[in-house]
């Protein structure tokens, strides 16, 4: 018998990692609930498209029996990537990659990925409008309290609640450090109509524009919109101290023209046609040597466990691989207790995350220094590998 049979498991956070874990735990005889702060599944899911990797995100979907559903919802050709200079001149044009094998990295929007995971669960598995507030020990488990005034008991709690995890402090007092870089996120709806030149350049895939010591990343979405991220060096408190109104498109356009001086006017329609407010994102990373004393009834996955900058594209894949490895440990009858299973998972997770974070920090630095364009071009030059 596995160590979580007949246990009540609470997963806090209904992102890809939390939902994948819920799906993978289904055969184990545990009563699993996912507590999600969104009021319903119809809430608009923001963010860029996600490329899933064979050894992580896709491996988790295969184990969950969801590859057929995934193949109905991913976006063939969305892995087409162009590297351009700050004037929009194409310097590298990578056509869509292989459609199978270890180098197959299909793209899927966050919304469809979330929906196919939700559809794989029983309807009452996700408890919506459950924004975690706090919890305290109760018996051998935890009593969780939510901002809507409800509470729930669980024998085991798993924090899958992202970068600003409220669960993490119950496990460790280790906090993330600032990477030295900040990103500004924006979105444009109906890009074919509102930014036709950039829509054509994007060609249904991704653009990495690099120059000076800055980046601008554009990503198409299946609903006809695009999202974009400017990346640049900045002090940690820049977001609070810069005085910018993130709801003022004219002000944000003026900021871009000053901060990205010398960049072509080609990019200005992103700010002129942006939808809603911009989002400022200081980029943080967990210490590479982090570790903590494993607990018998609490653990973390995804950004809650190992936050890192997004430039290596590992975030969702790491979270789904966490779910795969954690479920395998919790359902393994070789472990006599959940404590043993959690400890085994955390050992391999923290080791793996440390190596990935190191690589991500090195790549983030390289993409935000002089010569960043040539650095990225060299990444795709077989003679320089």
Question: Which strand (E) or helix (H) includes residue 142?
Answer: strand 141-146
Contact 303, 316 (CB under 8 A): no
**Residue 44 known to bind ligand:** yes
Where are the alpha helices (H) located in the chain, listed in sequence order?
A: 16-25, 57-63, 67-73, 110-119, 191-194, 196-202, 238-241, 249-259, 269-272, 303-306, 315-330, 338-367, 372-379
- The residues that bridge with 208 in the sheet, in sequence order, are 83, 217
Q: Which residues, 6+ apart, have CB-to-CB distance to 200 below 8 Å? A: none
Q: Which tokens belong to 51?
A: 């490329």
Query: How many CB atoms are closer than 10 A to CB 249?
Result: 19
The answer to whether 126 and 36 have CB atoms below 8 angstroms apart is yes
Residue 365: DSSP 8-state? H
Contact assessment for residue 38 and residue 186, using Cβ atoms and an 8 Å cutoff:
no
Q: What is the arrangement of strands in the sheet containing 151-154, beginning at the earlier edge strand?
A: 132-138, 141-146, 151-154
Q: Is 51 annotated as a binding residue?
A: yes
| Cα angle for residues 294, 300, 303 (degrees, 5° grid) | 135
Tell me: is residue 264 an annotated ligand-binding position: no
Asked if residue 91 belongs to a known ligand binding site, the reply is no
Q: What single DSSP character describes residue 296? A: S
Residues at the binding site for FAD are 51, 110, 303
Annotated binding-site members: 44, 51, 110, 303
Binding region for NADPH? 44
């Amino acid at each position: 018998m596995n160590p979580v049979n007949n246990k009540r498991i609470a997963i806090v956070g209904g992102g890809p990692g939390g939902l994948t874990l819920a799906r993978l735990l289904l055969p184990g005889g545990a009563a699993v609930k996912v507590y999600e702060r969104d009021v319903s599944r119809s809430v608009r899911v923001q963010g860029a498209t996600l490329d899933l990797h064979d050894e992580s995100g896709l491996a988790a979907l295969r184990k969950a029996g969801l590859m057929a559903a995934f193949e109905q919802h991913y976006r063939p050709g969305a892995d087409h990537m162009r590297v351009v200079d700050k004037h929009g001149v194409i310097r590298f044009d990578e056509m869509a990659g292989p459609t199978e094998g270890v180098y197959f990295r299909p793209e899927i929007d966050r919304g469809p990925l979330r929906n196919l995971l939700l559809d794989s669960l029983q309807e009452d598995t996700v408890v919506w409008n459950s924004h975690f507030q706090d919890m305290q020990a109760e018996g051998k488990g935890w009593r969780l309290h939510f901002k809507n005034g409800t509470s729930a008991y669980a024998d085991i709690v798993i924090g899958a609640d992202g970068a600003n995890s409220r669960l993490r402090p119950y496990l460790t007092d280790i906090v993330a450090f600032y990477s030295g870089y900040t990103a500004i996120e924006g979105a444009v709806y109906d890009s074919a109509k509102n930014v036709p030149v950039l829509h054509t350049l994007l060609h249904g895939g991704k653009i990495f524009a690099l120059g000076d010591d800055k980046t601008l990343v554009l990503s198409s979405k299946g609903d006809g919109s695009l999202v974009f991220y400017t990346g640049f060096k900045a002090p940690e408190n820049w977001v609070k101290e810069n005085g910018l109104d993130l709801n003022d498109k004219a002000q944000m356009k003026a900021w871009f023209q000053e901060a990205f001086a010398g960049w072509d006017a080609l990019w200005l329609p992103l700010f002129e046609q942006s939808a809603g407010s911009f989002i400022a994102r200081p980029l943080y990373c967990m210490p590479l040597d982090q570790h903590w004393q494993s607990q018998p009834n609490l653990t973390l996955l995804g950004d809650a466990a190992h936050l890192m900058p997004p430039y290596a594209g590992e975030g969702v894949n790491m979270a789904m691989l966490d779910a795969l490895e954690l479920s395998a440990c919790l359902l393994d009858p070789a472990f006599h207790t959940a404590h043993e299973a959690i400890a085994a998972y955390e050992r391999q997770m923290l080791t793996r995350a440390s190596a990935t974070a190191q690589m991500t920090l090195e790549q983030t630095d390289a993409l935000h220094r002089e010569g960043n364009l040539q650095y990225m071009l060299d990444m795709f030059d077989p003679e320089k590998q």
